[in-house]
Amino acid sequence: MKGNVGREQSEAWGHQSATRPPPHRAADACIRTLVDVLDSAIPEPVRDYDAPFLMPIEDVFSVAGVGTVVSGRVDRGVVRAGDVVEIVGLGSDDDKPVRVASTQAFHREVDEARAGMNVGLRLGIEAGMRFAMREGSRTIGAGIVTHVLA
């Protein structure tokens, strides 16, 4: 069986495959048209960049040689590397401020984390700070940082 039997059969039935643009060009044009229509029909979400920074922490990582990284979606505000933030909700009244060492989005350094972005923030965690480990909405451990490995 020949490799282009489908094309020969198609031409035998009267289809002009040689005069058509390649399928990827037609698909590309259709996709661009669809994206343009969606962009004009769906409004840009309103984000609060002027309010104080708020990001619910979804996950915490300890990366060797890097330090502690928290990830989540920024609800409001803007944070940059060097800014001081406060981790709240651990149940203590003496929450200590933490300096943001760097901000990343999709494994790339970014200048700032703005409302609506999914980001990772590398924090300057120090000995003596309180922490809590959570599994879902349940606290499974808590304590005080005794020393930092990174």
Any idea what DSSP says for residue 52?
Answer: P
Fill in the amino acid letter for 33.
T
Report the pLDDT averaged over residues 27-51: 89
Domain boundaries, the chain: 5-41, 59-144
Q: What is the number of other CB atoms lying within 10 angstroms of the CB of residue 118?
A: 13
Report d(CA 52, CA 92) in Å as an integer. 21
Q: What are the two backbone dihedrals, phi and then psi, of residue 103, each rounded to the nearest 5 degrees?
A: -125, 135
> Who wins on pLDDT, 143 or 48?
48
Report d(CA 93, CA 90) in Å as an integer. 9
pTM greater than 0.85 = no
**Do residues 62 and 150 lie in contact, with contact meaning Cβ atoms separated by under 8 Å?**
yes
**pLDDT tens for each residue of 99-137:** 898 999 998 999 999 999 999 998 876 655 556 555 566
Report d(CA 7, CA 108) in Å as an integer. 46
Fill in the amino acid letter for 47.
R
Lowest mean pLDDT among 5-19, 38-52, 81-95: 5-19
Token digits for 130?
């309180």
Is the predicted pLDDT of residue 16 greater than 90, yes or no?
A: no
Q: What is the number of other CB atoms lying within 10 angstroms of the CB of residue 111?
A: 9
12-50 burial, b for 16+ CB within 10 Å, e for fewer? eeeeeeeeeeeeeeeeeeeeeeeeeeeeeeeeeeebeee
How far from the centroid of its chain's Cα atoms is residue 2's Cα? 49
Domain 59-144 has CATH 2.40.30.10: yes
Is the predicted pLDDT of residue 91 greater than 70, yes or no?
A: no
The H or E element containing residue 40 is helix 23-41
